[in-house]
C-alpha cells in the first residue's frame, strides 16, 4: 500500500494506465498464489467518465471522399459502415463477404465471438470494383510486411489511412478508427435502430457498454437545441 501511495503522490505522477496495470498485476499475483483472502485490500480503479467523439454525417462524407485510392476509401467505409474494430478489419477475408445476402461475417471479434453485420449496396459496388482491380488472394485488404512481402493489412496501416484521410479532409476533430465505430453506433440510434440491435451489431458483451451512446445520440421527442437558435430566430 505504501508503494501504491508513493506512485500516486510523488511529484512525477505516473500515468493512470501505469497505475492501473500495477494494481491489476498485484491482483493477478494474489490470484495465482491462491491468496483468496487478501491481507492487503488493493484500491479500486475509478473509471473515467468520458463520452466518445462522434463525427457528423457531413464529416463522414468528407472523410470518405478524401482518399485518392479506392482501397483506402473502402477501409474507411468498412470501419464506419460496419462498425468494425481495427483488428476486425485487418482479419477480414474474402470468404467473409456475402454479397448475395448483403452481409459481412466477422469472425472471432473481441471476446472471440462471431457476428454478422449488414453490408450496404454502396460497399458492395466498391468491393467488387476493388477485387476485380486488385485481385486480393486471401485477405480482403492486403498490406506488406517489413521485408516488403504481401501480407494482411496491419492495424498501424489502418491508423495511417485514417490519419491521412483526416488530414486531406480538412476535419479539425482528431479521428481514429474507433471514432468511426462510435459514429456508426450513434448514427444508427439516431436513425431509429433499437439499442439491443446496436449492441448485437457492435458485438458488445454487456448492454451497459452500448448505453453510453444514448448520452451522445440526439434522441427524444424533440431534438435538443441551443437557446440561441430560438433567441435570435426571426
What residues act catalytically?
85, 110, 178, 181, 204, 213
The grid coordinates listed for 175 are 479521428
**Would you say 131 and 94 are in contact if contact means Cβ atoms under 8 Å apart?**
yes
**Angle (nearest 5°) at CA 100 between 94 and 101:** 95
Dihedral sign from CA coordinates of 120, 124, 126, 127: positive
* CA–CA gap between residue 84 and residue 190 (Å, rounded): 19
- Across 173-191, b (16+ Cβ under 10 Å) vs e yields eebbbebbbbbbbbbbbbe
List the one residue out of 84, 126, 72 whose CA is nearest residue 108.
84
Q: Enter the DSSP assignment of 110.
A: T
Q: What phi and psi values does residue 83 have, to the nearest 5 degrees? A: 65, 35
Amino acid at each position: 500500500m505504501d508503494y501504491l501511495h508513493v506512485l500516486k503522490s510523488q511529484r512525477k505522477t505516473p500515468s493512470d494506465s501505469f497505475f492501473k496495470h500495477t494494481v491489476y498485476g498485484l491482483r493477478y499475483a494474489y490470484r495465482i498464489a491462491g491468496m483468496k483472502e487478501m491481507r492487503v485490500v488493493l484500491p479500486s480503479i475509478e473509471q473515467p467518465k468520458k463520452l466518445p467523439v462522434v463525427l457528423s454525417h457531413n464529416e463522414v462524407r468528407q472523410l470518405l471522399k478524401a482518399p485518392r485510392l479506392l482501397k483506402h476509401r473502402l477501409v474507411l467505409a468498412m470501419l464506419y459502415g460496419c462498425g468494425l474494430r481495427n483488428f476486425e478489419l485487418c482479419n477480414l477475408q474474402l470468404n467473409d463477404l456475402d454479397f448475395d445476402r448483403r452481409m459481412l461475417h466477422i469472425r472471432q471479434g473481441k471476446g472471440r465471438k462471431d457476428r454478422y453485420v449488414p453490408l450496404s449496396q454502396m460497399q458492395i459496388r466498391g468491393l467488387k470494383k476493388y477485387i476485380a482491380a486488385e485481385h486480393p488472394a486471401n485477405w480482403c485488404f492486403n498490406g506488406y510486411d517489413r521485408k516488403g512481402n504481401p501480407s494482411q493489412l496491419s492495424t498501424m496501416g489502418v491508423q495511417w489511412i485514417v490519419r491521412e484521410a483526416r488530414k486531406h479532409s480538412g476535419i479539425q476533430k482528431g479521428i481514429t478508427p474507433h471514432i468511426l465505430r462510435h459514429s456508426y453506433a450513434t448514427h444508427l440510434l439516431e436513425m431509429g435502430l433499437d439499442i439491443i440491435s446496436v449492441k448485437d451489431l457492435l458485438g458488445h458483451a454487456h448492454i451497459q457498454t452500448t448505453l453510453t451512446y444514448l448520452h451522445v445520440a440526439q434522441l427524444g421527442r424533440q431534438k435538443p437545441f441551443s437557446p440561441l437558435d430560438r433567441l435570435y430566430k426571426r
